[in-house]
Amino acid sequence: MGLLKKDKKKKPVRMAGHGATSTKTSTARPQQILKTAPCTATCPSGNKIRMWLQAIAQREKLGMSEEEAFTKAWNIIVDTNPFPSMMGRICPHPCEDKCNRVVKEGGVAINVCERFIGDFGLEKKLPLLKLEEDAKSESVAVVGAGPAGLSFAYQMARRGYPVTVYEKTDKVGGMVFWGIPFYRQPEDVLTAEVQRIVDMGVTLKLGTEVGKDVSIDALKSEHKIIFVGIGAHKGRLMRVPGEEGPGVFTGVDYLHRVNNGEKVDVGKKVAVIGGGDTAIDAARAARRVGAEVTVLYRRTRTEMPAIDSEIEDAIKENVKVELLVAPVEVKRDGDTVTAITVQKMELGEPDSSGRRRPVPIEGSEYDVPVDCVIAAISQEPDATGLEALYDGPWVTAEDNGKVADGLFAGGDVVNLGLATIAIGQGRAAAEAAHAQLRGLDAAAGLPAPPIPKERIKAELEDVYPSSPAATAAHRPLEEWLTKPDDEIVLGIDKEQFLAEVGRCFSCGQCFGCERCWMYCTPGCFKKVEPIALGEPYYSMKLETCDGCNKCQDECPCGYMDMVG
């Protein structure tokens, strides 16, 4: 190259005469176009991940102190997800798989960064802020205090609506509390993040089952909008002989009891049926009371839907995983479970889920001696008492959560999923309900266009220097079972965090690298001061542009487009 002199500490110098020999001119002119980064495009909550990472990465250029930048990042996160500490612990982070940095030396470790900022918010007691100050008169009811219901409640409360959340149990968080073990999701983190929503003025009625303690008629007469977020808490059995009776639990029932502090007798040997998060959480919970645990799954490891790192951690805890086997019968001696008979499987053609279908192998049955069976195969909503609201158990809703006029739904009650999906659906439904109540155009504010990955210049070492992704510290393995409720993953420290946010490519968003300015011979670019996050660092004088394309060619993050 030779034309360009760049020193990281000094202002880069644009060399006289550069570009003079360019023959690649056109009538097209540059435009600075903010694009949607793949992390955000993949995030079911619609979190503006690049924006908050860049708030910190660019803090000095933006004139923010570290604390101001962290606070700014926290506020960007909670715009779409009021639970950054929780999600920084349990989200399977599909965003990281799609991060453009994957091609270099691994995607940005977004999830641990989210946790860091979430914990900062808790430590600093940052409050959730109102979007609209004027108090609205239309009352809103939320059925279920899980991620979907609480996300809906938050989004409505910040727009000024009076919101009441009715929750059947005496705890908040839904399946995040009742399903996920505390060593993955500490209760104090969850309750502190929910408290912030309550602090916005949301009324929480715990121990109140809608359809039993509060009638549907009362709900309808008191509230203009109703959101159903009851989740799916009814575990499914395996439909095999012998499963009815003591010694057989569904995964969600077992975990519910454990998280409720009950001492559940599972005996010495436990079989857990299934390959999802519920199966792995149930298996690890049973290991924590000293049982020998075998997970029996009918497909292979590749098809297991559980979070991969959780499967690995379960194996480290000596949970055995037997693949390609399906339950056939639970054997008993009187009432006591003695074994589970399983049949070997092989994989056939893909089914509707896209995963290869397990096909039984004739005559391959064998017994696994056990004292207890935990069937963690699936669950469905329990809509008992809600018949006058909707025709259960599953709710059929439009993409924006609308079920009928004034009735919205989201989360597991619509489709079994993840907390991040529930949070995203709660927000989408709140935006639709708000638009309906205020007569707004719900389609306003379409997302920015996606940034094609070939526009990112990952190979530019001076712009994107190589650096490995951060890994979170873990509690020593020997303590995992002896301190059964203590959090295992301990997160990252500030130094790791700052290095990690610096790894973000800022795909599709200007981050002030100055290459457009450096390469522009006619001098079209003039520095904007002060700069604002997400806005261009330069204004352009297009009348002097000769259409050489250099600014687009040299922009490492794909922010600059030649148009025309």
Ligand X SMILES: Cc1cc2nc3c(=O)[nH]c(=O)nc-3n(C[C@H](O)[C@H](O)[C@H](O)COP(=O)(O)OP(=O)(O)OC[C@H]3O[C@@H](n4cnc5c(N)ncnc54)[C@H](O)[C@@H]3O)c2cc1C
Should residue 554 be labelled a site residue for ligand X when binding is judged by CB under 6 A?
Answer: no
3-state helix, strand, coil in the chain (%, to 5): 30, 20, 50
Closer to ligand X by CB, 409 or 518: give it: 409
Report the alpha-carbon distance of residue 52 to residue 369 in Å, rounded.
52
CA 324 to chain centroid: 29
For residue 179, the minimal CB distance to ligand X (Å) is 3
Should residue 293 be labelled a site residue for ligand X when binding is judged by CB under 6 A?
Answer: no
H or E stretch covering 336: strand 336-350
For residue 379, the minimal CB distance to ligand X (Å) is 7
Stretch that binds ligand X, among 61-69, 163-171, 389-397, 466-474 (CB under 6 A): 163-171
Cis peptide before 393 (omega within 30 of 0): yes
Report the alpha-carbon distance of residue 314 to residue 287 in Å, rounded.
9
Tally: H helices and E strands in the chain: 17, 23
The binder of ligand X chosen from 37, 57, 86, 180 (CB under 6 A): 180
Query: Which of 509, 534, 532, 510 minimizes the C-alpha distance to 64?
Result: 532
- How, if at all, do strands 356-360 and 336-350 pair? antiparallel
The binder of ligand X chosen from 242, 327, 411, 491 (CB under 6 A): 411
The binder of ligand X chosen from 118, 179, 358, 491 (CB under 6 A): 179
Query: Which of 159, 158, 233 minimizes the C-alpha distance to 199?
Result: 158
The token pair at 388 is: 């006058």
Closer to ligand X by CB, 339 or 419: give it: 419
CA angle, 22 as apex, 21 and 23 as ends, to 5°?
A: 110
Should residue 327 be labelled a site residue for ligand X when binding is judged by CB under 6 A?
Answer: no
Report the alpha-carbon distance of residue 99 to residue 564 in Å, rounded.
30
Should residue 561 be labelled a site residue for ligand X when binding is judged by CB under 6 A?
Answer: no
Should residue 313 be labelled a site residue for ligand X when binding is judged by CB under 6 A?
Answer: no
Should residue 307 be labelled a site residue for ligand X when binding is judged by CB under 6 A?
Answer: yes
Stretch that binds ligand X, among 34-42, 145-153, 357-365, 472-480 (CB under 6 A): 145-153
Phi, psi (deg, nearest 5) at residue 563: -125, 140
For residue 241, the minimal CB distance to ligand X (Å) is 26
Report the alpha-carbon distance of residue 191 to residue 180 in Å, rounded.
14
Contact string 333-352 vs ligand X (x = CB under 6 A): --------------------
Residues 166 and 150 sit within 8 Å (Cβ to Cβ): no
Residues 450 and 38 sit within 8 Å (Cβ to Cβ): yes
Phi, psi (deg, nearest 5) at residue 548: -75, -10
Contact string 13-42 vs ligand X (x = CB under 6 A): ------------------------------
Should residue 143 be labelled a site residue for ligand X when binding is judged by CB under 6 A?
Answer: yes
Quick one: angle between helices 49-57 and 110-123, nearest 10? 70
For residue 134, the minimal CB distance to ligand X (Å) is 28
The token pair at 198 is: 């309550």
Stretch that binds ligand X, among 126-134, 140-148, 345-353, 530-538 (CB under 6 A): 140-148
Q: Which of residues 49-108 bind ligand X (CB under 6 A)?
A: 90-92
For residue 402, the minimal CB distance to ligand X (Å) is 16
Residues in binding contact with ligand X, number by CB under 6 A: 42
Q: Which of residues 223-282 bind ligand X (CB under 6 A)?
A: 229-231, 233, 252, 255, 277-278, 281
Should residue 305 be labelled a site residue for ligand X when binding is judged by CB under 6 A?
Answer: no
Closer to ligand X by CB, 327 or 410: give it: 410
The binder of ligand X chosen from 71, 169, 259, 509 (CB under 6 A): 169
Quote the DSSP letter at residue 360: E
Should residue 397 be labelled a site residue for ligand X when binding is judged by CB under 6 A?
Answer: no
For residue 280, the minimal CB distance to ligand X (Å) is 8
Should residue 283 be labelled a site residue for ligand X when binding is judged by CB under 6 A?
Answer: no
For residue 147, the minimal CB distance to ligand X (Å) is 4
Q: Which residue has the tokens 């808790």?
A: 122
Closer to ligand X by CB, 176 or 248: give it: 176
The binder of ligand X chosen from 211, 274, 424, 558 (CB under 6 A): 211
Closer to ligand X by CB, 323 or 422: give it: 422
Stretch that binds ligand X, among 283-291, 418-426, 451-459, 515-523 (CB under 6 A): 418-426
- How, if at all, do strands 320-322 and 292-296 pair? parallel
Stretch that binds ligand X, among 113-121, 124-132, 175-183, 331-339 (CB under 6 A): 175-183
The binder of ligand X chosen from 422, 429, 437, 504 (CB under 6 A): 422
Should residue 393 be labelled a site residue for ligand X when binding is judged by CB under 6 A?
Answer: no
Closer to ligand X by CB, 176 or 437: give it: 176
CA angle, 303 as apex, 367 and 98 as ends, to 5°?
A: 160
Q: Tell me the residue type at 24.
A: K
Q: Which residue has the tokens 């959780």?
A: 310
Residue 204 half-sphere exposure, CB side, CA atoms within 13 Å? 20
Report the alpha-carbon distance of residue 73 to residue 47 in Å, rounded.
11
Report the alpha-carbon distance of residue 238 to residue 251 in Å, rounded.
11
The binder of ligand X chosen from 62, 76, 176, 293 (CB under 6 A): 176
For residue 299, the minimal CB distance to ligand X (Å) is 19
The token pair at 293 is: 């645990």
Q: Which residue has the tokens 């059964």?
A: 484
Should residue 418 be labelled a site residue for ligand X when binding is judged by CB under 6 A?
Answer: yes
For residue 194, the minimal CB distance to ligand X (Å) is 11
Should residue 420 be labelled a site residue for ligand X when binding is judged by CB under 6 A?
Answer: yes
Burial 128-151 (b: 16+ CB within 10 A, else e): beeeeeeebebebbbbbbbbbbbb
Is the alpha carbon torsion for 385, 389, 391, 393 positive or negative? negative
Cis peptide before 530 (omega within 30 of 0): yes
The residues of the shown chain that bind ligand X, judged by CB under 6 A, are 90-92, 143-149, 166-169, 174-176, 179-180, 209-211, 229-231, 233, 252, 255, 277-278, 281, 307, 385-386, 411-413, 417-420, 422
